[in-house]
Amino acid sequence: MPSVENVLVKIPVTEEQAAAMMATMSSATFDFAASVGDTSHLPRTPKLDLSPERVDQADVILGNVEPALIEASPRLQWIQLGSAGYEAYLAPGVLDPSTIVTNGSGAYGPAVAEHSFAMLLSLMKRLPAYRDDQRGHVWTDEGMASSLAGARVLVLGAGDIGLCFARLCTAVGATCVGVRRHVPSSTSPEHARAFERVVAMDELTQELPKADVVASFLPSSDQTRGLVGAEFLGSMKPGAYLVNAGRGDLIDQAALLAALEEGRIAGAALDVTTPEPLPQDDPLWDAPNLIITPHVAGFWHLHSTLERVVALATDNLGRFARGEGLRNLVRG
């Protein structure tokens, strides 16, 4: 069993959840930096003023501490991130090479998928235009609508979130094709039900012109940054829709603005941008047929997401104490 004296918890927990965590390592001291109590009203972890000294004392961290505060602490044995994203923690100088990293992948599927699905349907049914009409007290017909029934949906990133999104689309009659960086040799029953097929990234150029909807849940990487540029948008089917709830740096926003203004695609829905927050004077705000939400699909806006993250962290804490393999291992 690893020797753990101090556990820093930056994930909001209830008193019952805090007790369950402490029971997994009864000899350790727990520092609950975030809220302990009713967490049902928290859309995200409250901002905390953590000192470097407080972070330096931790053998284990549960939650996302500012990378700059860790400063490659040689004491830190393991960090369980609350987020699915982990890129900032693998940057040089953030963590000691021996520090184990696990993430919150698998907790965010329903929340991000439902948010993305809602934005897509809003565009297809012209709800933003009708909302504008309502505010202007205007009774008018905004014209033709689109449907997911019979549509072909290309899902970039067919992991947990992409799978949940494909289930929603399939349920209303769409056909989904998934795109993954690494296609497994065998398809899981869940993927087989949600996707017509799952292909590798090198087949993207063949699938792109066929899609009525392109939805991305890809993480940021050298291969994905700037992927959706003028060439990509020009290859999309005329009248198709674009959804991005992965990372903002996927999209060349100037190219997207041009595609929307010229009507080459029917609309776009973004929960992520570059930078964040999007500057008030950015021309993207005024693009036609575009919905922007301020990176709120995830976090704890759906309370069940936080409950999943806490359950994962508690389970992994017990595994770590017993010297067992950890779930969602990113590096270790």
- What are residue 66's phi and psi, to 5 degrees? -50, 125
Q: Residue 219 — left, alpha, or beta (φ > 0 → left; ψ -120 to 50 → alpha)?
A: beta
194, burial (CB in 10 Å: exposed 0-12, middle 13-18, buried 19+): buried
Strand spans (E) along the chain:
6-9, 29-32, 60-62, 78-80, 100-102, 152-156, 175-180, 197-200, 213-216, 241-244, 267-270, 290-292, 329-331
Q: Does 5 qualify as catalytic in the annotation?
A: no
Q: Contact 78/99 with Cβ under 8 angstroms?
A: yes
Single out the catalytic residue among 225, 264, 295, 327: 295
131, burial (CB in 10 Å: exposed 0-12, middle 13-18, buried 19+): exposed
Q: Contact 156/181 with Cβ under 8 angstroms?
A: no
Q: Does 295 qualify as catalytic in the annotation?
A: yes
Single out the catalytic residue among 66, 276, 322, 324: 276
Q: State both tokens at 116.
A: 């993305």
- Measured CA to CA, the distance from residue 163 to residue 87 in angstroms comes to 22
Parallel, antiparallel or unpaired: strands 329-331 and 100-102: antiparallel
* Dihedral angle, C-alpha 165, 101, 63, 91, nearest 10 °: -90
DSSP track, 279-318: PTT-GGGG-TTEEE--S-SSTTSSHHHHHHHHHHHHHHHH
DSSP 3-state assignment of 72?
coil
Single out the catalytic residue among 126, 180, 191, 247: 247
Q: Does 115 qualify as catalytic in the annotation?
A: no
220, burial (CB in 10 Å: exposed 0-12, middle 13-18, buried 19+): middle
If we measure between CA atoms, which residue out of 232, 300, 298, 302 comes closest to residue 268?
A: 232
Q: Indicate which residues carry an active-site annotation.
A: 247, 276, 295
